[in-house]
Structure 1
Amino acid sequence: MGLFDSIRGFTGGVDSDLVSRGIPARGLIVGVDVNGAGVAFGPDQYRVCDLAVQVFMDGGQPYVTRCRQRVHEVVLPQLGGGVAVAVRVDPQDGSRIAVVFGEDPPVVTMGPSPDGGAAAILATGTPAEAVVVANAPLGVRNHEGHDVHVFTLTVIPMDGQPYQVQVGNPFPAAALPLVFPGAKVPVKVGAAGPHDVAIDWVAAQGPDLTKQ
């Protein structure tokens, strides 16, 4: 069973019209504030919470907004650490959302980043090396169709001290053999600072890699 299967169909007291007509999207819970006493519905117990959610929609860029709704007591302890959830977004107001517990969050394809994203860092950044500590799929694709992973990297600058960073980067399917804990990969560090890092897949294995 999935994380929320035991409460499938429960919308947490939110506007049912928003749930039915809202645009399906993917969300990551990035903050939970419990602000209400327990509420009972038969044998089930819920708490009123303010949820901070990073929203991913097809063709758009991620953003963070908040909603207030009831959360099942059983689920509440599991909402930390960026857990993925299904979301409905008001077509007229993107800041107005509902988290739909019990549904599988969709995989979405984002639009091009306004600042050029990883491609801009690779075009203008400073070369460095990094060691892969861990990686995990984010459940979204970039506009070129590559899955986006969250990479934990130890970056080794050419003229500085190593440091650890967590970044979202596109991960071409053909790069799978190159990525495992302890693997070294070439990166570029952007002008925005040491946390502005992109993995250079072309330098890792050649130009044909990103076409697969």
Structure 2
Amino acid sequence: MNMASANSGWRLRSGRPRNFGLRAGSMSDAQRRELLIRGTFGSATILGVRPRRQEPGHVFWVRVQIEGALPYETRVCQRVREDDLEWMQPADVVCCRVDPGDRDRLVLYVPDIEEAGRVSISKILSDGRRADATVLAAAPVAADYGGRDDPVLRLDMELRAWDEPKPWHVRLVQPVPLAAISLVDLGQHLEVAFFTVDHGESVAVDWAASLGED
């Protein structure tokens, strides 16, 4: 079972981004190319995905993060090949280019090595600072978990660290081990690692430590 979370890092692949998609009927090929060149760069966490019922492609429910702005959720209809779809399952993080004048008008694509700016979960857990996380809310983000054994949940948590002056809130989207489901109830505590105070981009839950397996 792949324990990578939405905040645990890019899933990487060699080669340049390809197989771009768009919201149905929203852009011509020329407009899409223009957006890929001039659009605002961001990241998109896949919350849910399903095939379109009557047209080619898939519908993706995503959580978009752009530097300097609060994250938001939107739906994108997009054509993707099967090999790309493997990298665009719930809890995966992909790149996107967003129209500055219409934040729901965006193009999703799988990042290559040069664009992979997120930190891997193993790096966070090995080198990150430690904090105590209190679960504030937990909710499934997709009815279809894409063949994963563990449910994908959205976790809202309050973090406290001995070397930070005050607590802060984060939101993670990630698969939760079935053995740890009881640990994500309201008020439960988890052990996490982090690099900096943010919205959850550099945070990873240490499930082994939280379960007392270390």
Structure 2 length as normaliser, TM-score?
0.48
Higher strand share: 1
Return the index of the structure with the highest Cα Rg.
1
If the length of structure 1 is used for normalisation, what is the TM-score?
0.48
Taking CA–CA contacts closer than 8 Å with sequence separation of 6 or more, which of the two structures ends up with the larger relative contact order? 2
